[in-house]
Every structure is written in structure tokens, then in C-alpha cells.
Amino acid sequence: MRTPLIAGNWKLQPPTRAEARVLAAAVVSGTRGLAGREVVLAPPFVMLTTVADAVVDSLVRLAGQNLYWENSGAFTGEISGPMLVDTGCQHVLVGHSERRQIFGETDYAVAKKVGAADACGLGSILCVGETLEQRDSGDAMLVIEKQVRRGLVELTTEGLSRLVIAYEPVWAIGTGRTASPDQAQQVHAGIREIIREVASSEVAESMRILYGGSVKPGNIDELMACPDVDGALVGGASLQADDFLRIIHFQES
């Protein structure tokens, strides 16, 4: 019912366009003929056109790692939704934990960005998740519910059909720790219930919810066996073609 989506967030890597081209080409080659999966690559902005050329006529799609909510203007250093669309993007990451934690993005800013992405036809991959302190205090779902509800306030009904949510426990990113399948399933089911309340049962059942906390070849199968885990937002493992392809080709139970 929900087509699994595997997204690779390259963050501030690789360092050169040549390396980006080789990595993207390897992903294209390794997914040729693949059915029943969707694959997305989110390279740094300066590599978007390079990767766009590399994935032409393949099932691999392109995403921006961020955007600003205005289409143009005196906003030095920013990039707009129409610019992303012009480079070939179909998706954009919004509210990634590193944007929230390092760059101080608020729920207000995230909502504005989701609305801007929707306005130009981009599907947002809305990232939500709790810190270790919030989890240990028992506030994980309260934090996540607030992020989800506030993140959707400027989204249209049509935009909901393009929206993907990525649950990324902040305490598991880059630490080697991973939420257990039971923990991931519990949060994903909770997010789906929030969407049911905010939108409808139909929207909730069709929306894809990705897991994004230290996804590796060694844990993807058990994560994808969870009924409410519809894919993965992959960080470091997406920079190694063999690892990323193993994740893409997860073994269904």
C-alpha cells in the first residue's frame, strides 16, 4: 500500500563533484530494474546539477537538503524552492535535527519552509525527533507531536499527499546507537495517529514515515519489518555505495 522510500542525505559530503558523480552513478547502476521501491538522493546544493545529470532516466530522485521560504529577494546564502525545482528536485528535507540543533531552526521556520515547498510542488521530508534528555524524561511523544502539528500548519490538503515524515531520534544520529525496532514502531505508530487526527484516516494510512537514526545494512531488515516503518533516511551509510544499495535492497520478511 505504501511504497518504501529510501533517502540518502549526503550532508556536507562528498567534497568534490567528481566523487558525487561516481557515487550517484553507482546508486543508479545498483537500482536498475528495481521495482517496488523509491530512492532519493540529497546532495549538497553545489552538487545538485551534477547528481541530477547522473540520475537521468533512472528511478533515483533528487532532494534538496534545505530551502528558504521566500522565492527571491535579498537573502544572501539561501536557496529557494523554485531553484530546487529548476535543478530537478522532487523533494526537500525540512527540519532536519542538525538544522534544528545546530542552526536554531524553530517550529515556525520549519512550518514556513514546508509551506514554501508545497507552494512550488516539492514534497517535504519533514524531520521530527527527540533528544536523549527528552526521551529519558518521558516527553518523546509530546515533543514529536508538537513538531508534527506545528510543521503542518501551512500545508495544503494537496501538499499532505506529497508529504513524507522522517522520525530521527536525535540521540541515535551519528552515535552508532539505534532505536530498537519496537521503539521505532511505537513512535511511527504514534505519528500516524497524529496524522489521523490532523487530517484523516485515509491520509494517515497512505503517508510514508521513514526511520532516520543510524540506519545501517545490519539493521535495515528488522526496521523495515515494522508495520509502520515505510523507509529510511540514511546519513553516513549513504556515502558508501555498497552499504546504501544493501539498505535499498532490504530483505522483506
Enzyme catalytic residues: 96, 168
Sign of the CA dihedral running 19, 66, 211, 173: positive
Cell 552508532, residue located: 176
Cβ(42)–Cβ(124) under 8 Å? no
Q: Cell numbers at residue 74, please?
A: 535579498
C-alpha cell at 121: 510542488
All three cell numbers of 244, joined, read 546504501
Radius of gyration for the chain, computed over Cα atoms and rounded to the nearest angstrom? 17
Cβ distance 147 to 110 under 8 Å?
yes
Q: What grid cell was written down for 103?
A: 542552526
- Adjacent-strand bridge partners of 62: 41
222 SS3 class: helix
Among the listed residues 163, 94, 172, the one whose alpha carbon sits nearest the alpha carbon of residue 130? 172
CA gap 129, 174 in Å, rounded = 14
